[in-house]
């Protein structure tokens, strides 16, 4: 058996999330079906670094699986891509040690959220951005975002339905940028892990602060409250991208938390 680690990107619009679900089109299910064809009927379990929800996209999702075939990595990429639907593309492949696990070996993840700030929903952006039609103060969002850095109990930012009991996570890096040409707000979050809907909830809170609905210092209060009722908004799935999974220590350039 060979253990393959592969990085892929996908448009999550037409998928009912990453994880296999009965009678639903999912990323995991699509990949497993292709591997089943390649092994002439053998069931192959695909492990993902994270379970993206319906409508969420990926630039750097990472998977691993064990295959009873010895296929060179270049051929594996070609074989997989030739059988994939057009909303999935494999980008890299390597053969890894049997002790490697795509989820448990990860050191951190990078999520990006893109917000369209146009007054009306752009029909060509509606599946690939969130939408916030209100005036925002970029400086307020940048200032507030820095209070997310460091190790905190993020109970206030965890949606119901998550099975994780320990809600302490460390955010290493938060960056807020504005693309004037596209009129889009770009939010980047890097941490050692994220709770269910955590990035979408943080984004919703920052947008409320940027529009003046909340004070700039409200992030600290919401974190301390450890109560989801203090932060009930959730940004749409369409603007969220799993951008990268780190399997080495987080580079110093992405360790803004050390300034806290």
Catalytic residue among 53, 87, 118, 153: 53
- How is residue 179 written in tokens? 């693309």
Indicate if 53 belongs to the active site: yes
Q: What are phi and psi of 111, to 5 degrees?
A: -115, 145
**Crossing angle for the helix pair 27-38 and 73-83, to the nearest 10 degrees:** 110
139: Cβ contacts below 8 Å, ≥ 6 apart: none
Closest CA to 201 of 244, 161, 236: 236
Asked whether 35 and 44 are in contact (CB, 8 A), the reply is yes
Q: In this structure, is the dihedral angle defined by the CA atoms of residues 166, 159, 134 and 120, taken in order, positive or negative?
A: positive
> What is the C-alpha to C-alpha distance for residues 254 and 110, in angstroms, rounded to an integer?
10
**What b/e sequence results for 70-80 when a residue is b if at least 16 CB atoms lie within 10 Å of its CB, and e otherwise?**
ebeeeebbebb
How would DSSP label each residue in 30-71?
HHHHHHHHHTTS-----EES--PPTT-EEEEEEEEEEESS--
In this structure, are residues 92 and 6 in contact, taking their beta carbons and an 8 Å threshold? yes
Among all residues, which ones are annotated catalytic? 53
């Amino acid at each position: 058996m060979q253990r393959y680690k592969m990085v892929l990107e996908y448009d999550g619009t037409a998928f009912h999330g990453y994880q296999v679900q009965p009678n639903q089109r999912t990323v995991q299910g699509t990949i497993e079906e292709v591997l089943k064809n390649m092994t002439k009927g053998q069931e192959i379990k695909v492990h993902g670094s994270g379970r993206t929800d319906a409508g969420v996209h990926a630039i750097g999702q990472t998977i691993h699986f064990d295959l009873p075939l010895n296929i060179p990595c270049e051929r594996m990429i070609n074989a997989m891509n030739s059988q994939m639907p057009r909303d999935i593309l494999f980008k890299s492949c390597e053969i890894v040690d049997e002790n490697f696990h795509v989820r448990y070996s990860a050191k951190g993840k990078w999520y990006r959220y893109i917000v369209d700030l146009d007054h009306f929903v752009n029909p060509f952006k509606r599946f690939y951005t969130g939408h916030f039609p209100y005036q925002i103060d970029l400086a307020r969002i940048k200032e507030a975002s820095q209070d997310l850095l460091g190790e905190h109990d993020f109970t206030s930012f965890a949606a119901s339905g998550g099975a994780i009991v320990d809600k302490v996570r460390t955010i290493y890096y938060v960056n807020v940028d504005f693309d004037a040409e596209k009129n889009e707000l770009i939010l980047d979050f890097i941490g050692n892990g994220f709770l269910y809907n955590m990035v979408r909830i943080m984004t919703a809170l920052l947008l409320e602060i940027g529009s003046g609905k909340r004070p700039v210092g409200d992030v600290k209060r919401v974190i301390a409250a450890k109560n989801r009722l203090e932060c009930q908004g959730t940004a749409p799935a369409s603007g969220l991208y799993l951008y990268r999974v780190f399997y080495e220590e987080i580079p110093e350039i992405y360790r803004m938390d050390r300034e806290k």
